Amino acid sequence: MFQVTITVRGYELDSLGHLNQAVYLQYAEHARWEILRAAGLSQEALLTSGIAPVAMETTIKYRRELRAGDEVTVSCEFRWGDGRTFGVHQEIRKTDGTLAAEVDGVGGLIDLKTRKLVADPRERWKAITPEPATLGL
């Protein structure tokens, strides 16, 4: 499973001294862009191809607090099905394996000209991604 490592920074904390809830989303998005990069796909290549990923729904389940200096891994796994959308499952874990949060989302690929979701995102990802296996394709 694809993972990136991040160290919690002091300026990301809330008034209670733990990671601000919105930062979990930033960590998850960072991992999503990094898996695309690992698959050989840059933001520029996406734009050039006329499509872009879009988040349609995100759910976070907070399990354990994170504090400044904690090192975490953020995983990213695409879940493919039929239709215009796909799932993304992510886990944020401390280095000791403790699950700090789960992030589940529904995404799609938007056609930048028509501003509508493409009919088969799985096939479009395959067509433009140099290493589609990284995305579970």
Is 14 catalytic? The answer is yes
Q: How many CB atoms lie within 10 A of CB 109?
A: 25
Return the closest-CA partner of residue 119 out of 69, 51, 34, 65: 51
14, 70, 104, 120: the active-site residue: 14
Spatial separation of the C-alpha atoms in residues 47 and 65, rounded to whole Å: 37
Contacts of 81 (CB under 8 A, 6+ apart): 87
Return the closest-CA partner of residue 71 out of 54, 93, 47: 93
Return the closest-CA partner of residue 57 out of 105, 111, 89: 105
Catalytic (active-site) positions = 14
